[in-house]
Structure 1
């Protein structure tokens, strides 16, 4: 936890004595947290260009091939509910070592799968193992950084995390020129081992561990979920994941089968959209010096509605028009993540691992809903995606109008207040 004296002095970065990293250092810790936070996009986007080819290889429908995505996300979300509370009880580092070992082994098993059903099963195990890093990474940020320095750190981490949606499909498409889809899962196993090595060098960031039995630790999820302030924000900021994951699941089919692009051309269009994701945390940090949090988030949800309308009306005309129409909503949905995550973390003084687990789980569940819905549209994926952004943007704007006026939101310091001296 942050030192109170450092909090009062307004330092940008605050550490407690136990959280100093002897081997990783501050920069190494941020890199490790970023890598752990990136396990979702790395584990999905790297092999997205291979999805249509995998369906052909196993002689199955695209819906069945998409289950390798859906099962990964479902198991990933369920896994966070396990690792988060356990990390509050036993520490962040032990959970990382166990989970990342499972992820690496499951990734290798995926590479050697001879049946689509085996591949789906191993993807589920891969999701459970990888979720340890995702849940624990968010908790580690709360362990180490205070409320005022947390948003810039979250923005830095999210920017580094969002580089993976840009690079992963391009790398995946390039690798497919030299290997098959199996080689992509071998690459994921290597990434898992790299994160495991960093976790071995990590010094524990949790200072006070929760007491009680294993069941008591898991029961803290219910306690956190009953916090109305946390629950309302959790629902609100999970909803944009429906749209984001719906696009990820449908992107290869839209560009490759819908617009007739090659796998490499698809990766370029995907990267163009992902650049918007990367820029979103930086856009938030810059605009938050001039706008209050309430106005900024309201603007983002309005942009999602407008962008969804453009996708619905113009998206089918060409791949470039679709990509340009989608870009504003991608930026807006990414930009609300930084203030949203900070607001949710501030609702819990303890049980940070459980809170982070619920945040991860709800985001994954929402994303899985989006992937399921978009897979049901088949020939009308672009109009369906536009409708999703319009509907989710409207619902979020209405919820935020009421939630943002609550004391548990308005009393959390934002960067606008700091910059203006208010």
Structure 2
């Protein structure tokens, strides 16, 4: 690394060396730079889940015995923590299995008719594209695409030109999982609100790295996953504005969603249908079946951990490492770095390609020669990399991502490894 491309892009109050002992997976000699795919998990999260399994393993909201009441208490406490973490009310938060199911639940529940339009961007992950494409196909609606270009720079004035009287839903990422670029969510929310358009946010890459306040943001729905924010796999979150939670019909129903204590108003079994149903109080109306109890408790512990570190510190630290590495890689001959150069437009991700070397081969060399874990490929961003209207004419790229447990030394090691690979592949 040359002196003209320093890795330090701003001070951070976070000291990753003090945190690393909380993450047993970091005990090896390898460098983990794939946290946006799935973060590592601290001991406190596993311990919280183990306590549930070992001490009060029971279902919630069902029993009047001690274990069930304890499980219900801890589950509700976790729900309150997660809601507060994103500035929501507990009644507005639903636990799902992941971001994908959360977005599918939104798509299944929102009304749409033939001729209506949904606006997506070419940087969307498949999880925020496929549910809307399927919905459009089923009802005869149309998908319209906003293209922020190869660098992913979102121009709000260009975007609003796509909105018209037929636009019903705008579903966009908050932070691109390909480029790390940050969309202007509040400006988008304002544009949608002014036109009566429902705004759905895929925040899988945003919630783990920055402070979120959904009420201030102004979105209608927001989805994210626990496993990207130090929590366990198998749990996701869907925020929905209270007015939607109260008035919409759940796209998925089952045990817990219907108030079985209410008087049945069905004329007969044959005629019984949704119009006669009394739904459970929020958020149970939207929580079909047994929820992810242990996972919710683990996610609550992950929230405690992130709150203790400070989300501003997490954001500054991750962004600083990413911006420094991006600058270092841009100085290497033959390397193309994707995404904007301006650090304020970045999150925790650095994506790049080495000329004439397939991204999978670069990823393999980083793993086998340097024990550095990165992700290579199209990152489920089909509209960016694939098809006749692809934004860039490459099959994918190499993606490194940074989180609160990554150090400056690891960033230096990664940049030096890429420089060395570029030197013998040129």
- TM-score, with length taken from structure 1: 0.30
Larger Rg: 2
Q: Which has the higher strand share?
A: 2
Q: Which has the higher helix share?
A: 1
